[in-house]
Amino acid sequence: MKQVLLVFLGGGLGSALRYLISKPLNIIFQNFFLGTFIVNILGCFLIGLLLGLSARNNLLSENGVLFLATGFCGGFTTFSAFAYEKHSLLKNSELLHFSIYTISSIVIGVLAVAIGLWLSKLGE
């Protein structure tokens, strides 16, 4: 239960920070979603740094990784976990799995949004 609470608290903090960073920038740069882009890239950098330091120096405990990487970075952006998983596949020379997972995640993700939007309009 403690681990779930750590992920919950980290995720809440990450989500709040994502909102505070992306909201004003997305209003200013409406056609590019600069705020979302910055948050996604920053989240990728943070998860790489946190997990890299943790693996190299045992800098973080398991609870620290749960709070910061799973919770905070996961709440800040799920794109960071997506990018880290892609890096792991490339590092292990899993090019086929990398390609299938990357392309299908993007294509099916965009399609799922479109289907959800379409379904939400049924019955109007």
Rounded to two decimals, the pTM is 0.77
Tens digit of pLDDT for each residue in 70-116?
999 999 987 888 898 899 899 999 999 999 999 999 999 899 988 98
Tens digit of pLDDT for each residue in 49-63?
999 888 888 888 999
| 105/111 Cα distance (integer angstroms) | 10
The token pair that represents 11 in the structure block: 């995720």
> How distant is the alpha carbon of residue 47 from its chain centre?
9
Name the residue ranges covered by the structural domains of the chain: 2-76
Cα 3 to Cα 47, 65, 73, 84: the distances in Å are 18, 10, 15, 21
